[in-house]
Amino acid sequence: MRLNKFLSSIGFCSRRQADKYIESGKIYIDSAVATLGTELENKQKVYFEKKYIGQIEDLDSKKRVVLAVNKPRGIVCTSSDKDRAQNIVDFINYPLRIYPVGRLDKDSEGLLLMTNDGSLVNAIMKAKNHHEKEYIVEVNKKIDEIFLKNMASGVYIEELKVKTRKCRTERIAEKSFRIILTQGLNRQIRRMCETLGFRVLSLKRVRIVNITLGKLKTGEYRKLSKTELDALDSLIGE
Query: Residue 107: which of 199, 220, 209, 1 has the closest Cα?
Result: 199
CATH number of the domain to which 168 belongs? 3.30.70.1560
pLDDT at 79: 62
The count of structural domains within the chain is 3
- Secondary structure class of 215 (helix, strand, coil): coil
Last residue of a domain, one of 31, 61, 91: 61
pLDDT tens-digit profile of 28-47?
Answer: 999 899 999 889 888 899 99
CATH number of the domain to which 34 belongs? 3.10.290.10
CATH number of the domain to which 88 belongs? 3.30.70.580
Shared domain check, 204 and 141? yes
Shared domain check, 141 and 42? no
Lowest mean pLDDT among 2-6, 71-75, 150-154, 188-192: 2-6
Last residue of a domain, one of 30, 61, 92: 61
Is the model more confident about 94 or about 68? 68
Shared domain check, 226 and 204? no
Cα(116)–Cα(61) distance, integer angstroms: 12
Q: Is 105 a catalytic residue?
A: yes
Is the model's pLDDT at 142 over the cut of 90? yes
Shared domain check, 160 and 95? no
**203-213 burial string, b = 16+ CB within 10 Å, else e?**
bbbbbbbbbeb
Query: Residue 8: which of 63, 54, 61, 67 has the closest Cα?
Result: 54
* Domain that residue 154 falls in: 132-208
Q: Starting at the edge strand that comes first in sequence, how are the strands of the sheet with 27-29 ordered?
A: 32-33, 27-29, 46-48, 51-54
Neighbours of 27 (CB within 10 A): 25
Beta-strand relationship, 211-212 and 200-208: antiparallel
Residues 6+ apart with CB under 8 A from 158: 195
Most confident of 56-70, 102-116, 166-180: 166-180
CB 68 within 8 A of CB 117: no
CB 9 within 8 A of CB 119: yes
pLDDT over 70 percentage in the chain? 93
Shared domain check, 219 and 204? no
Cα(238)–Cα(236) distance, integer angstroms: 6
Query: Residue 182: which of 150, 208, 153 has the closest Cα?
Result: 208
Amino acid at 43: K
Shared domain check, 108 and 15? no
Shared domain check, 138 and 120? no
Shared domain check, 27 and 16? yes
Query: If phi over 0 gives left and psi between -120 and 50 gives alpha, with beta otherwise, what is residue 81?
Result: beta
Shared domain check, 57 and 47? yes
Shared domain check, 35 and 138? no
Cα(166)–Cα(157) distance, integer angstroms: 13
Q: In the chain, which ranges are E strands? A: 27-29, 32-33, 46-48, 51-54, 66-71, 99-100, 109-115, 133-139, 156-157, 162-163, 168-173, 176-181, 200-208, 211-212, 221-223
pLDDT tens-digit profile of 205-216?
Answer: 999 999 999 999
Sequential DSSP letters for 28-81? EETTEE--TTPBP-TT--EEETTEEEE-THHHHHPPP-EEEEEEPTT-BSSS--
Candidates 19, 58, 105, 107; catalytic one = 105
pLDDT tens-digit profile of 163-202?
Answer: 999 999 999 999 999 999 998 899 999 999 999 999 999 9
Mean of pLDDT over the chain: 89
pLDDT at 184: 86
